[in-house]
Amino acid sequence: MATRQDVAKLAGVSPTTVSRVLNNNGYVSQDVRKRVEEAIRELQFVPNRVARSLRTQKCGQIACITHGLKNTFYAEIVQGIEEVALENGYTYSIYSTSVENEKYINLILEGFYDGLIVLTSSEFNNLVDSKKIREVIPTCFYWDLGYETKLPNVAVNLKKAMKNTTNYLLDCGHKEIVYLGYPKEGIEGVKENPRFLGYVDALKAKGIEVSSDHFLFVSNWNDTLTAGYEKVRELLDRGVSFTAIAACNDLMAIGAIRALSERGIRVPEDVSVTGFDDVEIAKMITPALTTVSLPKKEIGHTLMKSLLRQMNGEKLEGKIQEYESELMERETVQKI
Amino acid sequence: MATRQDVAKLAGVSPTTVSRVLNNNGYVSQDVRKRVEEAIRELQFVPNRVARSLRTQKCGQIACITHGLKNTFYAEIVQGIEEVALENGYTYSIYSTSVENEKYINLILEGFYDGLIVLTSSEFNNLVDSKKIREVIPTCFYWDLGYETKLPNVAVNLKKAMKNTTNYLLDCGHKEIVYLGYPKEGIEGVKENPRFLGYVDALKAKGIEVSSDHFLFVSNWNDTLTAGYEKVRELLDRGVSFTAIAACNDLMAIGAIRALSERGIRVPEDVSVTGFDDVEIAKMITPALTTVSLPKKEIGHTLMKSLLRQMNGEKLEGKIQEYESELMERETVQKI
DNA sequence: ATGAAAGCGCTAACAC
DNA sequence: GTGTTAGCGCTTTCAT
């Protein structure tokens, strides 16, 4: 592997000059530049990023924390992040929240990353002291918790989104609506989840009783197809009466639909179901899932752009951008 | 951010000694070790990975090339990779094949990675000279092409898998089976795809005519829900007669089912459909998808383990492991 | 058992 | 315009 030294020797110039043409700063005469460029080509020289990082104290890499890519919701956000990262010469690593606390922190403190994007605020908050992390490394959060934070974040108005959805269900004549999704932790902390808040708000506004029989809570790290499936089976076993399910993500909704249809309950004829996220597959299943569309890629873009700004020295605080969502009326909801 | 120097000073020893306790080599007296450890704790010292990398010429990071995580098939393999990577102190970056040729190569040559895992052999092969890459960096491929290679790879017996699946369809009485999926490039190169080979083999073995009317080809980078959906719509528009569709991945199968049901064609009553990969959602849609199950996580594990071996100096060549698959009989196929 | 010193490949301040 | 030099934080001989 050729080094800058080798190039310098071959071109008959000093290493500094090579740097200059490489980084396009300082003055280099046409003639010399040409010779250097030729030498670079001949030796197939590629600058060593590790050495450069050590010198410049920035390594052109960011870390991104998710809780697994199996929910394509995250995969799509990550795609958005990747696009603007690469455009700006950054690479990124992905970590799943499943990794233990300490490993993370060290990985991050090791100086191998210039910035950090956290897609799973709640788990991350439980794991580490976010404020502390932020002091050592520029950080941007995708914030989906129910309270405000000073941490730089981009968010979606989830409360409003779920309120809309619930209202839609209500307008379709549903009164017994099951909520399937996130609490923060247990029933007490539950108020902190914006989606749940939206659900409760909508019900109350129409004078409908909010019954804990209709709460199907799932922890944040377990918002999967299987969880949706099993929660609804349990619900069915309990014999609770309901005519609709409002899920907190599409995967859980799809799991719910499966549980329903295995018991011979038809969607939407017998029970209506709504999802959340509008993952690509939502419109491809039959019946196509009525769900809430979020601008996933844009979220990724904004997350990365905000991080970039911070890495350039800007101080950012609190909500940087709040996106709106859109209810996609498809085939899993029916008027009764 | 504290450096090793600071620790040394605080502990009243030389920087070398600090290194020794950090890396657990050489002799350090109990007493000194304790002092150093205390200093480390007090200063919250974390060794700088960039500096270490520069010195040791290995950076504890690998790159992984996919064509996007939106197909959870790749996400699951990546999860497997992550598990053994982290276990062994490696971090990883993910790249989508959508990035242009040159950027890649440079990224990889920049010395920011100790190894490379390629999940999308075909695209990668088109993009770069795999053999050349391999000379500069240990590499391991997930190989799903129809010809053998000397490049270190882990594979699944895809030909056999698709042959099985086609036979299953045949045994169910289907004779007009549509193939939905990968050619290498155009019809001529088509023979190189193992799945296609398996499909043709099965048909021929039963003396059934192989008709190009039943080929629905999709390029490798376009094996999506939407592609499956649109290809099948086109097929329907052409008025070709068929009773089954064998798809090359679950996403395309799901897209196909959607196209079918939008036209009032029932699955499996009117047309049977099979998928490939057994992605988590396959069993959750209704009807549950009959598909081929591959050991995705294990593939990830083996990929990473093989890379580890190479990074430790071992020379690996050709097929390292070939996995078998399993047909999951569910609800999208019916006897006729 | 511990320390001194060289050097990984690069950049940037400073000289010429 | 171009070269010299110091140094980023660490590991690793080689002395002691």
How many domains does one find in chain B? 3
Given a cut of 80, whether residue A31 has pLDDT beyond it is yes
Residue of A nearest to B262 (CA): A286
Helix (H, G, I), strand (E, B) or coil at A262: helix
Measure A207 CA to nearest chain B CA, in Å. 35
Let me know whether B107 and B17 are in one domain. Answer: no
- Nearest Cα residue to A276 out of A144, A122, A78: A144
| Alpha helices (H) along chain A | 4-11, 15-23, 30-43, 49-56, 72-87, 101-109, 121-127, 130-136, 158-171, 194-205, 225-238, 250-262, 296-311
Given a cut of 70, whether residue A202 has pLDDT beyond it is yes
- Average pLDDT, integer, range B264-280: 98
pTM, two decimals, is: 0.94
Let me know whether B192 and B281 are in one domain. Answer: yes
Angstrom CA distances, B293 to A112, B167, B282, B322, stand at 37, 16, 10, 14
String of b and e for B311-331 (b: at least 16 CB within 10 Å)? beeeebeebbeebebebbebe
- How far apart, in whole angstroms, are the C-alpha atoms of residue A178 and residue A192? 18
**Contact between A111 and B48 using a beta-carbon 8 Å cutoff:** yes
Contacts of A234 (CB under 8 A, 6+ apart): A216
**Contact between A91 and B96 using a beta-carbon 8 Å cutoff:** no
Residue of B nearest to A98 (CA): B83
Which residues from the 49-78 window of protein chain B have CB within 7 angstroms of nucleic acid chain D? 51-52, 54-56
Let me know whether A41 and A90 are in one domain. Answer: no
Give yes or no for CB of B20 within 7 Å of strand D: yes
Measure A209 CA to nearest chain B CA, in Å. 32
Measure B75 CA to nearest chain A CA, in Å. 6
Mutate to test the interface with A, among B4, B49, B67, B223 (most CBs of A within 10 A): B49
Spatial distance from the CA of A221 to the C1' of C6 (Å): 50
Q: How many CB pairs under 8 A join A and B?
A: 138
- How far apart, in whole angstroms, are the C-alpha atoms of residue B259 and residue B232? 6
Closest CA to the C1' of C11: that residue is A55
Each residue's pLDDT tens digit, B115-159: 999 998 877 777 777 778 888 899 999 999 888 899 999 999 999
Say what the pLDDT of residue B185 is: 59
Residue B293 pairs in a beta bridge with: B277, B326
- How far apart, in whole angstroms, are the C-alpha atoms of residue A136 and residue A126? 18
- How far apart, in whole angstroms, are the C-alpha atoms of residue B289 and residue A284? 13
Spatial distance from the CA of B289 to the C1' of D6 (Å): 66
Spatial distance from the CA of B51 to the C1' of D4 (Å): 24
Of A53, A79, A251, the CB nearest to B68: A79
Length of chain A: 336
Confidence of residue B95 (pLDDT cuts 50, 70, 90): confident
Let me know whether B197 and B246 are in one domain. Answer: yes
Each residue's pLDDT tens digit, A225-242: 999 999 999 999 999 999
Measure B19 CA to nearest chain A CA, in Å. 15
Answer yes or no: are the C-beta atoms of B152 and B310 closer than 8 Å. yes
**Contact between B280 and A107 using a beta-carbon 8 Å cutoff:** no
Answer yes or no: are the C-beta atoms of A140 and A117 closer than 8 Å. yes
- Between helices B72-87 and B296-311, what is the axis angle to 10°? 40
- How far apart, in whole angstroms, are the C-alpha atoms of residue B266 and residue A127? 48
Question: Is residue A284 a part of any domain in this protein?
Answer: yes
String of b and e for B149-188 (b: at least 16 CB within 10 Å)? bebbbbbbbbbbbbbbbbbbbbebebeebbbbbbbbeeee
Answer yes or no: are the C-beta atoms of B305 and B117 closer than 8 Å. no
Residue A291 pairs in a beta bridge with: A328
Residue of B nearest to A281 (CA): B225
**Contact between A50 and B47 using a beta-carbon 8 Å cutoff:** no
Let me know whether A285 and A193 are in one domain. Answer: yes
Let me know whether B309 and B290 are in one domain. Answer: no
CB-based burial label for B265 (10 Å; 0-12, 13-18, 19+): middle
Given a cut of 80, whether residue A57 has pLDDT beyond it is yes
Question: Is residue B125 a part of any domain in this protein?
Answer: yes
Each residue's pLDDT tens digit, B289-322: 999 999 999 999 999 999 999 999 999 999 999 9
Answer yes or no: are the C-beta atoms of A75 and B70 closer than 8 Å. yes
Question: Is residue B18 a part of any domain in this protein?
Answer: yes
Contacts of B314 (CB under 8 A, 6+ apart): none
Let me know whether A101 and A190 are in one domain. Answer: no
Let me know whether A281 and A310 are in one domain. Answer: no
Name the nt closest to B3 by C-alpha to C1'.
Answer: D9
Bigger pLDDT: A110 vs A272 = A272
Q: What is the DSSP letter of A302?
A: H
Say what the pLDDT of residue B190 is: 55
Measure A284 CA to nearest chain B CA, in Å. 6
Domain assignment of residue B135, given as a range: 59-156+295-324
Angstrom CA distances, A266 to A4, A256, A258, B261, stand at 69, 11, 10, 16
Name the nt closest to B55 by C-alpha to C1'.
Answer: C8
Measure A47 CA to nearest chain B CA, in Å. 6
Q: Classify the C-alpha dihedral B107-B74-B187-B155 as positive or negative.
A: positive
Question: Is residue A330 a part of any domain in this protein?
Answer: no
Question: Is residue A243 a part of any domain in this protein?
Answer: yes
Given a cut of 80, whether residue B101 has pLDDT beyond it is no
Percent of chain A, pLDDT > 70? 96
The CATH number that applies at residue B39 is 1.10.260.40
What are phi and psi for residue A240, nearest 5 degrees?
-70, 140
**Contact between A46 and B79 using a beta-carbon 8 Å cutoff:** no
Angstrom CA distances, A33 to A7, A14, A17, A75, stand at 12, 12, 8, 43
Answer yes or no: are the C-beta atoms of A52 and A89 closer than 8 Å. no
Each residue's pLDDT tens digit, A61-95: 999 998 888 899 999 999 999 999 988 989 999 88
- Average pLDDT, integer, range B267-282: 98
Answer yes or no: are the C-beta atoms of A323 and A299 closer than 8 Å. yes
The CATH number that applies at residue A110 is 3.40.50.2300
What is the rounded (10 degree) CA torsion for B228, B231, B237, B241? -80
- How far apart, in whole angstroms, are the C-alpha atoms of residue B78 and residue B304? 10
Both tokens of B40, joined, read: 């480390």
Given a cut of 60, whether residue B323 has pLDDT beyond it is yes
Tell me the one-letter amino acid at A309. R
Question: Is residue A53 a part of any domain in this protein?
Answer: no
Let me know whether A67 and A147 are in one domain. Answer: yes
Mean pLDDT, chain A, integer: 91
Say what the pLDDT of residue A102 is: 63
Residue A321 pairs in a beta bridge with: A154
**Contact between B68 and A86 using a beta-carbon 8 Å cutoff:** no
Let me know whether A188 and A252 are in one domain. Answer: yes
The answer for B95, left when phi > 0, alpha when psi is -120 to 50, beta otherwise, is beta
Say what the pLDDT of residue B280 is: 95
Name the nt closest to B20 by C-alpha to C1'.
Answer: D11
Closest CA to the C1' of C7: that residue is B55
Contacts of A171 (CB under 8 A, 6+ apart): none
Say what the pLDDT of residue A134 is: 82
Angstrom CA distances, A314 to A71, A80, A305, A308, A311, stand at 32, 22, 12, 9, 7
- How far apart, in whole angstroms, are the C-alpha atoms of residue A207 and residue B163? 60
- Average pLDDT, integer, range A172-194: 80
- Average pLDDT, integer, range A151-178: 97
**Contact between A79 and B69 using a beta-carbon 8 Å cutoff:** yes
Say what the pLDDT of residue B222 is: 85
Let me know whether A99 and A211 are in one domain. Answer: no
- How far apart, in whole angstroms, are the C-alpha atoms of residue A233 and residue A252? 12
Angstrom CA distances, A274 to A162, A244, A255, stand at 10, 8, 12
- How far apart, in whole angstroms, are the C-alpha atoms of residue A290 and residue B168? 35
Given a cut of 80, whether residue B186 has pLDDT beyond it is no
Length of chain B: 336
Both tokens of A173, joined, read: 């004549």
Q: In chain A, what residues touch B82 (CB-CB under 8 Å)?
A: 94-96
Confidence of residue B78 (pLDDT cuts 50, 70, 90): very high
**Contact between B110 and A47 using a beta-carbon 8 Å cutoff:** yes
Mutate to test the interface with B, among A110, A116, A136, A232 (most CBs of B within 10 A): A110
Question: Is residue B138 a part of any domain in this protein?
Answer: yes
Question: Is residue B27 a part of any domain in this protein?
Answer: yes
Say what the pLDDT of residue A142 is: 96
Say what the pLDDT of residue B97 is: 64
- Average pLDDT, integer, range A105-124: 86
Let me know whether B169 and B145 are in one domain. Answer: no
How many CB atoms lie under 10 A from the CB of residue A197?
18
Of A46, A69, A106, the CB nearest to B69: A69
Answer yes or no: are the C-beta atoms of A230 and A259 closer than 8 Å. yes
Spatial distance from the CA of B24 to the C1' of C13 (Å): 38
* Per-residue H/E/C for chain B: CCCHHHHHHHHCCCHHHHHHHHHCCCCCCHHHHHHHHHHHHHHCCCCCHHHHHHHHCCCCEEEEEECCCCCHHHHHHHHHHHHHHHHCCCEEEEEECCCCHHHHHHHHHCCCCCEEEECCHHHHHHHCCHHHHHHHCCEEEEECCCCCCCCCEEEECHHHHHHHHHHHHHHCCCCCEEEEECCCCCCHHHHHCHHHHHHHHHHHHCCCCCCHHHEEECCHHHCCHHHHHHHHHHHHHHCCCCCEEEECCHHHHHHHHHHHHHCCCCCCCCCEEECCECCHHHHCCCCCCEEEECCHHHHHHHHHHHHHHHHCCCCCCCEEEEECCEEECCCCCCCC
- Nearest Cα residue to A325 out of A87, A160, A112, A110: A160
